[in-house]
Structure formats: structure tokens, C-alpha cells
Amino acid sequence: MNKPFIVAELSANHNQNLEIAKKSLIAIKKTGADAIKLQTYTPECLTLNSQDECFQINSGTLWDGKTLYELYKEAYMPWEWHNELFTLAKTLDIMIFSSPFSLKALEFLEKLDCPMYKIASFEITDTNLIYEVAKTQKPIIISTGIATQNEIEDALDRCKIAGNSNITLLKCTSSYPAPIQEANLLSMPELGNKYGVKYGLSDHTQGHLSAIIATSLGASMIEKHFILDKKLGGVDASFSLDKDEFEEMVQAINSTILALGEKEPKSTPEKMANQRRFARSLFVSKDIKKGQIITERNIQSIRPNNGLAPKYFNEILGKRAKKDLKFGKPLEMDDFS
């Protein structure tokens, strides 16, 4: 089984501080992650600066009491940082890419030669944005958190029309943090089975158990929020892993892949013989004279694996020794007749 591509989502965990963002990239590289993901938007890309009731957040989230505009103003990454962060990632030899939330953001990221794009859960219904992203012919990751089957199909159709088949659908529970009982990870492989694309997990549960389970279910990508230090706080801190936790997750994923191994393990004859050394086989457990009958009292199935297989035990009983057989001798076919 192949190791999943591990993405560290920086999200809003830069706390609008460039030095924190840069230190985060350096720390992510050290965890063993494969890529860093940013989010490219301004509040105006996502919503209106309105106090009307429909723009208020009051649905039992971490962000209740804010308007959408206030939340995104607090969380967005200044665009003028992008070039410096992309350059730093290149120096660190780690992939960096982003989620564009508007056509303007896509155009901006194309100028930075962004190598891959992610469509966020709540943007899956924006088929025009998906089509324009797919037209770049770069790998496109689509999070399915809130999507109906029809919406997933609509998104995939737009990719198909754009001629882009390099698609990964991510299982996502769009709660922050997501309760473990709502992870429904068994539905993740169905994304691949049903739609014929790569599949993975965008994980908002706490800890890394879901990421390990997703790995065992064949996820090709694991995305998890990263924070340099939880003491920094911020809008995404509660469901993010700090640098030590993220590194622990990466190591656990690597160990999971090693443990899963292959459906048909390959082993050299020498290695197999060594592993089978202490299997049982038939031995002489009491001296047997030539012509003496072999009985349950003078042979025994014991370790190690030097004699005949134990399956011959009943077949041998009642036969006569062709020669003297000493205690501790492994039985062979020419020992009796």
C-alpha cells in the first residue's frame, strides 16, 4: 500500500503575523509532511460586510457571535506574504499550494506558479470557480464536506469539461472540531469507488486517530490543520495539531503503512526457513530399536522444525523402524516401513 500524501493546512494559524507563518513552514518541513497548504482570499472574496442576521454566526460553532466578514477578516492571510512564503517553501524543498476562493485569487496564484489547487468544502457548489481551476490542468483536490451526490457530480463534470482528470476527492466533516462519531470514515473509499477518482481525508477531528484509520482504508491524501504552538490561540487552534503532534501523526502514518504491508507478502526462501525454524515437527522421543513398532510413546510432535510435518503422525503409528533411532532424532521418511 502506498503512503498517503500528507498536507499541513496552515489556514488561519499564522495569526496574521508573517514571522509566525515563516516559522510554521520551517516547522512543517521538520515534521515530515509532504506539502503546506495556504488559503488565498480576502473577506470580500467570501462575503459582504453586513450585520444582517443571515451574516451572523450563531449555529453552535467556535465562532458564534461574529459576522462572517469579521471572521474572515481575522483569519485571512495577507496576499503580499504569498511570494515570500512560496520562495521559502522552495528553499526548504517542500511543496506549497493554496485554496483559491475567487477567480482573482486563482489568477494571483497562477502568477506564483502554484502547483496544485484545493477547493474548500463550502466552495464545492461554485462550479464556475471549479471549472476555471480545473482549466489550469494542475491537480485539483475537492473537499466534499457539505456536498450532496449531485453537487459532487456537478463539480466532477466541470473538471471533465475542462479536460482535467487529476482529481482527489476528500472526505470531510464540516464541523470545527468534528466529533469522532461523525467522521464516517467508511464512506471515504466510496468516493473512489463511485466516482473513479483518488480519495483521501480532510480531517477536523482532534488528535490523529482518524488519519491513521484513513490510511488503513487506502487514503491517497491526508490533510490536517497545523499550528506552531497552541498557546498562540486563534480561530482554528482547537482542531489543529502542533509541531510535535503533527510529527507524531506523520510517524504513525508511516508505521501504519509498514504494518499494512502487502496483500501477498514476498519472502525469500532463506527468510521463510528462518521464520519457520521453531514450527513443530516429528522427533524420536524415546530410543527405538530396529524392527520396533513406532507408537505414541516413542515419537512426539515438538519444536523445532527439523523433522517430518506433524500431519504424518497418525500415518506413521504402527510402522516398524528400519534402523536404530536415537532419542532426539528428527524423523524422516526412510526411518520406517
CA proximity to 31, closest of 325, 253, 304:
253
List pLDDT tens digits, range 269-318: 888 888 889 999 999 999 999 999 999 999 999 999 999 999 999 999 99
SS3 state at 222:
strand
Only one residue has cell 514476498, namely 266
Q: How many CB atoms lie within 10 A of CB 78?
A: 11
State the number of CA atoms in the 13 A half-sphere of 209 facing the CB.
10
The residues, ordered by sequence, that sit 6+ positions from 82 with a Cβ below 8 Å of its Cβ are: 38, 40, 98, 108, 109, 112
C-alpha cell of residue 45: 472574496
Distance in angstroms (rounded) separating the CA atoms of residues 277 and 319: 27
pTM: 0.86
List pLDDT tens digits, range 145-196: 889 999 999 999 999 999 999 999 999 997 778 899 999 999 999 999 999 9
Spell out the domains of the chain, with CATH numbers in brackets: 5-41+76-260 (3.20.20.70), 269-335 (3.90.1210.10)
Average pLDDT of the chain is 94
